[in-house]
Amino acid sequence: MNLKLHIWRQKNNKAAGAFEQYAVSDISEDMSFLEMLDVLNEDLIVGGKDPVAFDHDCREGICGACSMTINGNPHGPEKATTACQLHMRKFNDGQEIYIEPFKNKSFPVIRDLVVDRSALDRIIESGGYISIKTGSAPDANDIAVPKAKSDVAMDAAACIGCGACVAACPNGAAMLFTSAKLKHLNVLPQGQAEKKKRTIAMVEQMDKEGFGSCTNHYECEAACPKSISVEFISEMNFEYAKARATAYRD
Amino acid sequence: MKLDAKIPEGPIQDKWTKHKFDIKLINPANKRKYKVIVVGTGLAGASASATLSELGYEVEAITFHDSSRRAHSIAAQGGINSAKNYPNDGDSVWRLFYDTVKGGDFRSREANVYRLAQVSVDIIDQATAQGVPFAREYGGNLANRSFGGAQVSRTFYARGQTGQQLLLGAYQALAKEVESGSVKLRTRKEMMDIIVVDGKARGVVTRDLVTGELETHLADSVVLATGGYGNVFYLSTNAQACNVTATYRAYKKGALFANPCYTQIHPTCIPVSGDYQSKLTLMSESLRNDGRIWVPKAKGDKRKPREIPENERDYYLERKYPSFGNLSPRDISSRSAKEACDNGQGIGATGYGVYLDFKDAINRLGKDTIAERYGNLFEMYERITGDNPYETPMMIYPASHYTMGGLWVDYNLMSNLEGLHVIGEANFSDHGANRLGASALMQGLADGYFVLPYTIGNYLATADLKKIDADTPECKATVKEVEDKVNKLINVNGTKTPSYFHRKLGKLMWDNVGMARNEAGLKHALEEIPKIREEFWKDVKISGTGAEYNISLEKASRVADFLEFAEVMAYDALDRDESAGAHFREEHQTPDGEAKRNDDEYRYVAAWEYKGVGQRPELHKEELDFENVKLAVRSYK
Amino acid sequence: MLGFLKSNILSKFVVAITGIILVGFIIGHTLGNLLIFAGPEALNTYAIGLRDLGPTLWVVRIVLIIAAILHVITTINLVRQNKKIASGYKVSNYKASTFSARFMGYAGLTILFFVLYHLAHFTLGFVDASTFNMEATLENGRVVHDVYSMVVIGFRNVIVSLFYILAVSFLGLHLKHGIHSMFQSLGIHGKKFTPMIQKVAAIVALIIVISLISIPISIMLGIVGGQV
């Protein structure tokens, strides 16, 4: 198939960016979206032009590195699919495709489609862990965790940290990401001791990073490659308010 | 060079305990005066950085990813072994030790493996306390499953994302230490070379992938946790960025590279569909529990699978290995697929694929049961290939998956290059010639959480380290070397992309140094590799400059090292004139096609010393003594 | 007192809680207005009944005014921040977001202007003083403010009616998204509950829109208020 691509090109964080148009031909429908970009890049390099920079690594939908907005959808049109697992058979011959970086003021562009998502790491650093030092853990079966709770923790922990939720949110909120991590740790017995502190710290770091607020569009859930539920956002709202209301006791 | 593995004296059960008592300690208040650089933030690197920081050391953790949560440990699906014996089915530290040594086809170091089995128990405790959501029984206790043909259920798992969850546990532990200020995390910086001063590893030179700036990082010891070299085959299940540069650079600075020919091939991956293919996706081996593997009997049969009648199909695994059939071990299953395809019976567009057919299982168990067992895998397969495995058989083919070889280390996980510690897949130590399923996660975390943090203390306490800074001649010289390499790459200004050479090398390696090897093929590879390398340095094309975010430069720099490393691998495979584990020399097989070891002549670790580009490296042998397990021949008939 | 504005989540709580108060008011107000179909006596009795509440009425009014002010300034503050961080894409393509969700701000502002006008018109009498000062005599002989006639005459003006219909339609969209959002913001969410409350919100919004719009339409068609 042949495609007309409009790709956001930006030399670095300081430079102004613009869309550039590229025509790619003889694209196999068995290619992944990133392989299609590889083909374009090979041509660009041979032609002495700069290849399109984009983040990617595992190419099997789990590392969370790939991050591009395809025709207005982070990771593209497929449900629960990262850009690296999106295949060209989902597109039509002759289609025009707009490829943009994940857009959010807290995700500054590094080059082309590569953005800096370290704000998400800083949210984790602010409290997204259970403080247990290596070697001091009790026997794993000392703490029984009801299967239902363990399953919910796993649902939340499935987050790959790609930032598509942020990129998809019309308000630029990072609430799905933050709430999923909070839920993962807050639902487990191991996470109880730090629950309140963690909730307050992570939510406030999220605000500090400048992320927006949820107005319940649920675009995040629809864009999430792991279909993480907005239920966690709702719960985070309540838990944060509760933590703030009872903080005086600590 | 005499290779001293520094294995502690005494009975194997007591070696680690005794060693921990014997090693020198550093006063808690003094630990912060020591600095350790950890390169790589996968399971091994993140767990080591976090633990060293908890102990009080100053740590600088370096990763070329944008975040310390992306390393390829994250893609491990199956699980992690541990000798917990929760299912009460007769498992023990001793049994895990024995299985691992046997699984490695008696080419690993007993003392290291025993220690691995011992600390495997602590890993599960640690990960659980961190909040890793392992699968649980209804009673709330941890669930186990049997994995990779083990006779006991010792594998802990978190759905099909065990690697992800364990990595997130380590990443969170690391995040906690970053927050506390005692770990400095450097992201998007690639280690380009190692700084050696007075024969000791004292730092690394990195290239900032955003600005192109070369930076010097100095410390009292350097830890490499930079993973394996499976991408030498170009196509593998590894992530795109996985490369050999860090370990290969250390090798060029004097560290020995051990057993590079031990590379594991995974039998059930989605086959190549075209030249553009960038990676091979692994499908869980569990599929083989219910799928039947076959190819058409006739060569070049291009009919649709459902149009090929039963009597014209060759269920080759069931035919050749009637008792294990479709569940034959990874290497046997992989080689049989290659044989069938080499014989012209391969299927799919490229002829490199075999069918994995669920029709009988669906007829027997019903579609619902199959969907319950493999629904998510079938979905993933359909997403990638566009085929529905409920209707038409899956196509699979083996792919490079894990590399058992790596930098040589002693019992303390220190290389022969003093001060350089190597952990996780990057070292060679625990898996011998083949790795058991669900043991990679175990080894990475054992090294990072429970072994290195002790043994590195002994080195720091006893090493005589002089004060150095960025102006020390050795530091400046190393930066200069890196700068020259970058400039040299950019100045070639040829006509072919770095990937072109990587693909070419990969195909050569896959065909000749892949899952089945012979003398003629290996010699052919040794002739061809230098030619590709020469062509590369004459004709590679990189766009842009060294002073910017430059993906073609990154790639070229890694390919350049693969082009040198590939030769070491081929030399090792040629030298090891026996079959052992994943290293299969066609000259050495039993009449049934099983690997035939030669314990009298090759019961050693082959550790290679760099002698110059294009020069045959020098072989050093570490003889392996088996005092606790009896060397046996495995049989899966 | 406005410290909560610094927190996105606490802001959302304030929006949700004030939203509940305002929704309650709208439902009550709609029910009261529907008395117009029962004739002048019923509506005017209801109106004077409210007046007779005296101080209680003022408490209710103050609560409503504060709720409205907080609702407006908090949302304006949130929208301003959100606009700063999210810049949008060249191609807009939504998978889940509804028109009503994206229209919340515009609908809200329109409603705000409408409410101010509506108050000026029917509560403060700034728009048409002559109709505002009309009087009616109830069956019990009490002379009261003739709300019925005021409304009927007001809505005979086509422009006033059209503005009203437009604003009420926007109110419907605002409620459709707002009513379910209140629960989500306050932490009330469930796999069955949330889809259910989304449907309920849409139905409630629709009923309110139909009820309110029926008044000016009936008046313009002469079905109601022919005798005024």
The class level of CATH for B266-401 reads: alpha beta
Q: What is the reported pLDDT for B83?
A: 97
Ordered DSSP codes for B437-449: TT-HHHHHHIIII
Q: Do residues A143 and B128 touch, judged by C-beta distance below 8 A?
A: yes
Q: Which residue has the tokens 């003022």?
A: C58
Whether residues A57 and A107 share a domain: the answer is yes
pLDDT (average), residues C84-101: 93
Nearest to C156 by CA among C73, C82, C226, C65: C226
Closest approach of A8 to chain C, Cα-based (Å): 10
For B581-633, give the secondary structure using H, E and C: CCECECCCECCCCCECCCHHHHCEEEEEECCCCCCCCEEEEEECCCCCCCCCC
Nearest residue, CB atoms, B543 vs list A12, A28, A50: A50
Q: Which residues contact A218 (CB under 8 A, 6 or more apart)?
A: A230, C96, C97
Same domain, A146 and A202: yes
Contacts of C7 in chain A (CB under 8 A): 203-204, 207, 240, 244
CA distance C30 to chain A (A): 26
Residue in chain A nearest C86 by alpha carbon: A172
Confidence at residue A95, expressed as pLDDT on a 0 to 100 scale: 97
Model pLDDT, residue B636? 61
Strands (E), B386-513: 394-403, 406-407, 420-422
The strands making up B292-296's β-sheet, listed across from edge to edge, are: B263-269, B394-403, B354-357, B292-296, B313-314
Please give the positions of B annotated as active site.
330
Are both A102 and A140 inside the same structural domain?
no
Contact A171 C94 (CB under 8 A): no
**Local confidence band at C205 (pLDDT 50, 70, 90 cut-offs):** very high
Tokens of C20: 């509940």
Number of A to C CB contacts under 8 A, please give it: 143
Tokens encoding B48: 């080591």
A177 touches chain C (CB under 8 A): no
Contact A133 B65 (CB under 8 A): no
Residue whose C-alpha is closest to residue C152's, from C226, C98, C52, C82: C226
Query: What one-character DSSP code corresponds to residue B450?
Result: I
Q: What is the dihedral of CA B582, B585, B586, B592, to 10 degrees?
A: -50
| CA distance linking residue B134 with residue B139, whole number of Å | 14
Nearest to C93 among A72, A103, A240 (CB): A72
Helix (H) or strand (E) holding A20, with range, is strand A18-24
Which pairing describes strands B189-197 and B200-208: parallel, antiparallel, or unpaired?
A: antiparallel
Check residue B330 and give its pLDDT.
80
Closest alpha carbon within chain A to C9? A237
Domain of residue A143, CATH code: 1.10.1060.10
Give the integer Cα–Cα distance in Å for A130 and A117.
22
C121 to chain A, any CB pair closer than 8 A? The answer is no
| Dihedral over Cα of A186, A190, A193, A198: its sign | negative
List of chain A residues whose C-beta atoms are within 8 Å of the C-beta of residue B385: 30
CA distance to B527, C15, C27, C64, C68, per residue, from C20 (Å): 79, 9, 11, 11, 11
User: Which single residue is written with the structure tokens 């728009």?
Assistant: C127
**Residues in chain B closer than 8 A to A119 (CB atoms):** none
Q: What is the DSSP letter of A32?
A: B
CA separation (Å) from B89 to A142, B144, B145, B146, B561? Answer: 20, 11, 11, 11, 47
CA dihedral sign, ordered B130, B132, B133, B139: negative
Residue B572 makes CB contacts below 8 A (sequence gap 6+) with: B259, B260, B261, B405, B606, B608
Q: Quote the pLDDT of residue B150.
A: 80
User: In this structure, are residues B588 and B596 in contact, taking their beta carbons and an 8 Å threshold?
Assistant: yes
CA of A153 to nearest chain B CA: how many angstroms apart? 6
Residue C207 has pLDDT above 60, yes or no: yes
- Probe site for chain B from A28, A38, A39, A63 (most B CB atoms < 10 A): A63
Chain C nearest-CA residue for A219: C96
Those chains having 3 or more beta-carbon pairs within 8 angstroms of chain C are A
Per-residue pLDDT at C1 exceeds 70: no
Contact B50, B68 (CB under 8 A): no
The runs of H, that is alpha helices, within B315-405 are 316-320, 330-342, 359-365, 367-385
Average pLDDT of the segment spanning A58-82: 97
* Pick from A19, A218, A241: CB nearest C97: A218
Neighbour-count burial for A235-248, b at 16+ CB within 10 Å, e otherwise? bbbbbbbebbeeee
Which of 25-64 (A) contact C at CB < 8 A?
none
Q: Would you call A62 and B84 a contact, using CB atoms and an 8 Å cutoff? A: no
Q: Where are the domains of chain B?
A: 266-401, 473-623
SS3 label, residue B314: strand
- Partner A contacted by C176 (CB < 8 A): no
**Interchain pair A65, B140: CB under 8 A:** no
List of chain B residues whose C-beta atoms are within 8 Å of the C-beta of residue A226: none
Asked whether residue A250 carries a pLDDT value surpassing 80, the answer given is no
Residue that is last in its domain, among A111, A127, A162: A111
Q: Kindly state the tokens that stand for B100.
A: 């691992």
Q: Are residues C89 and A171, on separate chains, in Cβ contact within 8 Å?
A: no
> CA-nearest residue of chain C to A76?
C93
- The whole-angstrom separation of Cα A8 and Cα B336 is 47
Residues of C in Cβ contact (< 8 Å) with A100: 89-90
- Total-model pTM: 0.96
Class of domain B473-623: mainly alpha
The answer to whether chain B touches chain C by having 3 or more C-beta pairs less than 8 angstroms apart is no
Residue of chain C nearest A19, judged by CA positions: C90
Query: What total number of domains does chain A contain?
Result: 2
Separation CA B71–CA B448 (nearest Å)? 15
Instruction: Name the neighbours of B, counting chains with at least 3 Cβ pairs within 8 A.
Output: A
| Min Cα–Cα distance to chain B from A214, Å | 25
Q: What is the mean pLDDT of each run of 10 residues along chain B (637 residues)?
A: 94 97 94 97 98 98 98 94 96 96 95 98 98 96 86 92 97 98 98 98 98 98 98 97 98 98 94 92 87 95 93 94 83 90 92 95 93 87 93 95 97 98 97 93 98 97 96 98 97 97 97 96 98 98 96 98 98 98 94 89 98 97 96 73
Which of A79, A217, A230 to mutate to probe the C interface, most C CBs <10 Å?
A217
Q: Please tell me which of the candidates B71, B165, B240 has its beta carbon nearest to residue A157.
A: B165
- pLDDT category at C126 given cuts 50, 70, 90 is confident
Domain with residue A37: its CATH number is 3.10.20.30
Nearest to B321 by CA among B9, B95, B594, B546: B594
Same domain flag for A179 and A71: no
Give the residue numbers spanning the domain of A68: 3-111
Judge whether A96 is closer than 8 Å to chain C, CB to CB: no
Which chain A positions have a beta carbon within 8 Å of C194's beta carbon?
231
Say whether both A106 and A149 belong to one domain: no
Instruction: Name the DSSP class of B289.
Output: G
Residue of A nearest to C184 (CA): A234
CA atoms within 13 A on the CB side of B342: 11
What does the pLDDT read at residue B593? Answer: 78
C-alpha–C-alpha distance, residues B426 and B39, integer Å:
11
Helix, strand, coil fractions of chain A, as percent rounded to 5: 40, 15, 50
